[in-house]
Chains A and B, each alone.
Chain A
Amino acid sequence: MLKVFFAIFLLIPLPVMAYHTETQTPYGITNTLNNDGSITVSWQESDGYEDNPPEYYIVYIGLTETADDKSVQTKFGFTEALSWQSYTFTAEYLYNELSVDNQKIYAKVKAFHNTNGTTSDYTPVQSVLYNYVFIPTTTTSSTTTTTLPKAEDVVEDGITTYLAWDKNGCEHPGNPLSYKEYLTAVESKEWFGYQNGDCKEPIVVPETTTTTTTTTTTIPPTEEELNFLETGIYETNKERADREEAERLEAEKEAEIKSNLENSDIDIPEEKVEEFVEIVKEVEEFVETLDVVEEVIDIPEVIIIEVEEEIIEEVIINETEVLPEVDKEILVEPVQEIIEEKPVEEYTEEDIEIVQEVVDNAISNVEELTEEQVEVVADVLQVSTEDVEIIAEAVKTDEVVAEAVEIFVEKSVQNADVENYTLADVVTEIQFENFIQNPIEVLINFDTIDLTTIGNDMTQDQKEKAQEVVVPVILTRIASMAAFIFRRS
């Protein structure tokens, strides 16, 4: 029995014996020399049965048995139980640090657990004979300066010959050269000793030479140049004179138009004066382009005057036909701004005149209005857009409606506090005033009556206003008749 226990005791591996140590000492250290002159120190890690596994190892080497000349800390620690670890010292390191020369290098290892401050014991020291001859790499730089003698100083021996090359590696045409010839060639700086090259001419990009010849000739300035300096316009004296005359005439014409405008009753905002002037000028230019065929006949002077008057009348008619169209385009926009920005009661006299003028022009040219312009006019008159055309038609035949349209804006401002004050109200007012002045004429003012189109010439707003009056009158009459009959019975 004791023999069995003893055998078991002997078979139990040493790691088991190490159990419960803090940090185990590495096992089986070896120290070997490699072919490249380096030495490798190897050891086996612990079996893991320890409290503080190694965090790193320190490998010690030296030329004595204590192996403590140099030490290196590894970057690795415990990895796996009983695994092999190693560290290699290069031949250069050994040469520089130990100056080893055919000597034994001793090595040992110790494990460290820095966190808990525990270490293992040193492993046994292992040695290896280092018989490697390490030759360090050295860089030798040597400069040999040979000073050639001058060609004139040498004496030919008639035996030695030399070769010369140019910078591209081309041989001297006289190769082989005598010593004196060689020195002469070298002194010319065009020939050298051996030159590496394939004797090819480098590609030479021809340089572009730009020659600028500046010839300064004093020439008297031309009239165009003089005019350009003065006016900034390149023109001849005649062209300049014509241009200045045209500008003078244009300025005079413009001043005349402005003067006429000031003397007339037309009130146009200052910002629109320039546009007005331009329009008038355009109209005049257009009139000038009209071909007036003049027949030269011997006729009395009186008739000639009549013809001239007719032409003037034509011109006036043309101007009055063209101007409203243009004015309409100019003035609809400010009217829209006035309508959007101001309530009716805040209209100034100027606003009233502008809006009224636009409405009058729009109603008289309703066929040419855009949808947007029709909406603006409808907004002003407080009617639907469809009614604008009806009003435009009514204006042509009904003086009362025409007058109502003319004074609507003014009346609208005066009755700003009246709810839903429309063109129909203005029409009623005018008709009432006319009725007061001449009742019979109002009631007996019959034109051709077309029963099929009755009411078509009334705006929707007018119809509604009429219903509001007529229906109560009829109902009141019926009620009064019923009351009368009731009383008599």
Chain B
Amino acid sequence: MIKKLWNWFIKIVKETLNLSWTLVGLVIATLTLTGSAQQITGLATIITLVIWLLTISFRD
């Protein structure tokens, strides 16, 4: 179980690194925005990232 979690952790790290440039862009976009637009962008970015990482196996 721990090994599975460790492997999944390694996977999400690798996947996150693959998304580095995209995340950089989204973070910058978030920092550029203000008010509710910033909040929504930030929230959407995090939710999407979480969904993306949780569905690695599914997408494979």
Contacts and interface: CB of A to CB of B under 8 A. Distances in A.
**A and B are interacting partners:** yes
Interface of A: 394, 397-398, 400-401, 424, 427-428, 431-432, 435, 442-447, 449-451, 453-458, 462, 465-466, 469-470, 472-474, 476-477, 480
Contacts of A474: 25
A458 B21 contact: no
Contacts of B28: 469, 473
Nearest to B22: A477
Contact of B31 (A432, A447, A456, A480): A432
Contacts of B38: 431
B46 interface: yes
Interface string B18-36: 0001100111111111111
Contacts of A400: 34
A476 B20 CA distance: 12
Contacts, number: 90
Interface of B: 21-22, 25-43, 45-46
Nearest to B38: A431
B24 to A, nearest CB: 8
Given A445-B39, A473-B26, A480-B21, A458 B33 contact: yes
14 contacts: A401-B35, A428-B31, A431-B32, A445-B42, A451-B36, A456-B36, A457-B37, A466-B37, A469-B32, A473-B26, A473-B29, A476-B21, A477-B22, A480-B22
B25 to A, nearest CB: 3
Contact of B45 (A443, A453, A454, A457): A443
A435 B36 CA distance: 17
Contact of B34 (A457, A469, A470, A480): A457
B39 A424 contact: no
A444 B44 CA distance: 11
B39 A465 contact: no
A33 B21 CA distance: 143
A454 B32 contact: no
B31 A457 contact: no
Nearest to B30: A443
A320 to B, nearest CB: 28
A454 B46 contact: no
Given A428-B31, A466-B33, A473 B25 contact: yes
B25 A477 contact: yes
Nearest to A455: B37
Contacts of A427: 32, 34
Contacts of A473: 22, 25-26, 28-29
A455 B36 contact: yes
Contacts of B33: 458, 462, 466
Contacts of A442: 30-31, 42
Main secondary structure of the interface of B (DSSP, over half): helix
Nearest to A430: B31
Contacts of A455: 35-37
Nearest to B42: A443
Nearest to A404: B34
B35 A428 contact: no
A116 to B, nearest CB: 115
B36 A450 contact: yes
A67 B30 CA distance: 138
B28 to A, nearest CB: 5
B27 A472 contact: no
Contacts of A470: 25, 29, 32, 41
A101 to B, nearest CB: 136
B39 to A, nearest CB: 5
B31 A449 contact: no
Nearest to A465: B32
Contacts of B46: 443-444
A480 B35 CA distance: 30
A458 B35 contact: yes
A391 to B, nearest CB: 10
Nearest to A474: B25
Given A455-B37, A473-B22, A466 B32 contact: yes
A450 B39 CA distance: 10
Contacts of A449: 36, 39-40, 43
B42 to A, nearest CB: 5
Contacts of B39: 445-447, 449
A394 B32 contact: no
Contact of A454 (B27, B31, B40, B42): B40
Given A466-B37, A473-B25, A480-B21, A424 B42 contact: no
A445 B45 CA distance: 13
A447 B39 CA distance: 8
Contacts of B40: 449, 451, 454
Nearest to A440: B46
Given A476-B21, A476-B25, A457 B30 contact: no
A432 B39 CA distance: 15
